[in-house]
Structure 1
């Protein structure tokens, strides 16, 4: 069965083990070490500190429907279980990966029966809720509305993009953060010391420096840390976990990264903004973070080309060429040699003078192109390859700039008459655009006074 339930019982709020505790035999260490009370919950202090609204709602037994949004291993499932414990409710868990309409209906029927026959409430926990489609999410709405159950959804993806507005309007979204290294060290030491649910019965020890390394390798994920610790403990031949063994267990680990997911877009946004902000060290760090996480370097190269035009443009036209050269160098060299070219481009783009004048000009011209529709090309700008077209006035009174002084036809008009003379491109006071601005200012002054350059 793809859903899990805990029988309704009066649950203690005074620190005893909760009735939803599982049989520790055969369970992974990460599952055995779930805290039994809020004071033992590690991390998420912004949500669970004394006096925080969520903590007050839990401790008073009056929780509300919510969505827990955060990376894996940050305590979403554990928090949902604790909420059920503190509000003395039945706990039903569904996995959106495995569950379908049948399981949802069974959970609703169970919640309704327990509510009417035994007087208990229900916490319905839906893991990976973003995997449900829109119509499946809508199925929960009437039962959230009438209080059949308290709905708690867990997701690693941005709820704004993945969940129905109707469901979001009935739930409060809480953001869970990656655990800090110190938090994970606390969990590791707790697991080593706990004689009942942890590894304490084996009297295993591990040097504090190794504990720190393991916590860092877990990358903010408590489950990953405890899983790695359990593997190391299973392989340990003595009463201590040596450095050589930990090195073997940690070999091949990668940082948190989800191609196409929330972490991906957060990190590429950080890279782009660091380059735009002329912060080469930070930009290089985010480049390395993404490469370390498994991002396709060709994607990064394409993004650098975009940055060269969007944020530098004509302030330093070399930026676009260098970004293209870095892309070509990576395609020819591959990894890891080609990554050096990407790093060179990131540093150059970060240090280059910045201008978004081209980006703004393109957006403004695009708006006008859509707004004015299919205006005709002025006759004097049309070619006249035939006698008929010449008779119709095509090319009539066109001024050839190369025949004009300084190769500029002062006062000439190149827009459709209906548009007037809009100005899209406004160079900034950075790099080469300083000179471009001076040149355009001179030409516009000549246009204004309606005379030709001398």
Structure 2
């Protein structure tokens, strides 16, 4: 028996909601579908945003053979069968074969590799569908042979149309929805059309009215806008970016999203330590000590209380002055090392072995014989803010006194 989400699935581009950045007027993807000139592509983005629906629309419009499979159930033999069938169609019928693979990221590397040469020579036209960023989960060689299209969560305007279409389906049952309930579903769905349709279907089919109470029962928690599998990348990036922008509220919001999505406080702790050094650095040397103390405390305490400690550390970092001087200095040094032939001078070489004196190694040992020390010829660390400016002034005064 089909679910209501399948029954209400758009059958044409005219019915399709959302993704105007991909399917707007005269867009490349829309023209390719209408002209039946599809090339291998990967559709990625959150659940309930239309990826599988678009694949179904392509299947309805194309004159090519169309094969559907799901990477969670398909085996190597299924893929080989699809490849062999596509070869026959190409050689005998001069006909293309489109293969739509749901959950593409679930295929192990050996199966993704199996697809590779046949995507390369266009025996198969791949339509990969995944909720995960393909650059983290799909064979890079397969990515290079495909066009990547990113799907976004549906807007509230589009989601409102989904609600109206779902309510319209139940018109014979005199089903309605009040504004408060509709707004609640919109705010809790995270732009996932399937989630809203499924919630309304469950309420109605179980013999209940759609009101704020029943909506809260079927959708008690907000659907996170961060996917569990990508929180480690996108969520942490949003956290650090907000700290860099001195956006205290934004940083704490993204911290909460990460914790709420997968509870991975270890990754948060590592990122906060990096941020304390990379974005605050020497302009407030205490920031790293403060953050380290918070991180250790959070790991000892654990959730749920750890979120309070991490919130405090996040706010503290976001309110600090900024300096990337240490970050920039080490990157300059690495580039310099790769481009210049700079060798360790004899007087700085290891001298903890018998015979080092004969080689002239280590004469500047434990800070002795300061007169033989020559300052490094390239300026790498450029102080820009806070304590590091005063510290550098002191350092320069020391050198000037020698």
TM-score range, shorter chain: 0.7 to 0.9
Aligned residue among 211, 228, 231 for 1:242: 211
**C-alpha distance in 2, partners of 1:135/1:224?**
33
Whether 1:133 and 2:104 are equivalent positions in the alignment is no
Q: Where do residues 75-224 of structure 1 align in structure 2 (5 Å cutoff)?
A: 75-112=50-87, 121-194=96-169, 199-224=170-195
**C-alpha distance in 2, partners of 1:314/1:397?**
27
Q: SS of the residue aligned with 1:74?
A: coil
**C-alpha distance in 2, partners of 1:186/1:165?**
37
**C-alpha distance in 2, partners of 1:46/1:433?**
45
**C-alpha distance in 2, partners of 1:130/1:53?**
25
CA contact (8 A) 1:137 1:167 kept: yes
User: What is the CA distance between 1:94 and its match in structure 2?
Assistant: 1.0
CA contact (8 A) 1:193 1:203 kept: no
Structure 2 CA distance for partners of 1:80 and 1:374, relative to 1, 3 Å: same
Q: Where do residues 309-320 of structure 1 align in structure 2 (5 Å cutoff)?
A: 309-320=277-288
Whether 1:434 and 2:402 are equivalent positions in the alignment is no
CA contact (8 A) 1:380 1:398 kept: no
User: What is the CA distance between 1:252 and its match in structure 2?
Assistant: 4.3
CA contact (8 A) 1:84 1:122 kept: no
Structure 2 CA distance for partners of 1:39 and 1:436, relative to 1, 3 Å: same
**C-alpha distance in 1, partners of 2:361/2:64?**
83
Whether 1:325 and 2:293 are equivalent positions in the alignment is yes
How many residues are treated as equivalent by the alignment?
A: 401
CA contact (8 A) 1:410 1:443 kept: no
Aligned partner of 2:400 in structure 1 is: 445
Structure 2 CA distance for partners of 1:424 and 1:269, relative to 1, 3 Å: farther
Aligned partner of 1:55 in structure 2 is: 30
Unaligned segments of structure 2, at least 5 residues = none
User: What is the CA distance between 1:241 and its match in structure 2?
Assistant: 0.9
User: What is the CA distance between 1:115 and its match in structure 2?
Assistant: 6.3
**C-alpha distance in 2, partners of 1:44/1:392?**
70
Aligned partner of 2:263 in structure 1 is: 295
Q: SS of the residue aligned with 2:129?
A: strand
CA contact (8 A) 1:287 1:343 kept: yes
Unaligned segments of structure 1, at least 5 residues = 1-25, 402-408, 415-419, 447-451
User: What is the CA distance between 1:362 and its match in structure 2?
Assistant: 4.1
Q: Deviations over 1:114-168 (max 9, x none)?
A: 6677776542101122222344223334444554443211122222343334433
**C-alpha distance in 1, partners of 2:31/2:237?**
35
Structure 2 CA distance for partners of 1:364 and 1:59, relative to 1, 3 Å: closer
Structure ID, larger Rg: 1
CA contact (8 A) 1:121 1:148 kept: yes
Q: Deviations over 1:211-237 (max 9, x none)?
A: 221122121222222222212222333
**C-alpha distance in 1, partners of 2:150/2:8?**
22
CA contact (8 A) 1:73 1:221 kept: yes
**C-alpha distance in 1, partners of 2:358/2:32?**
84
CA contact (8 A) 2:284 2:386 kept: yes
Q: Where do residues 26-65 of structure 1 align in structure 2 (5 Å cutoff)?
A: 26-65=1-40
Q: SS of the residue aligned with 1:444?
A: helix
Bigger shift: residues 39-48 or 55-64: 55-64
Q: SS of the residue aligned with 2:66?
A: strand
RMSD: 3.3
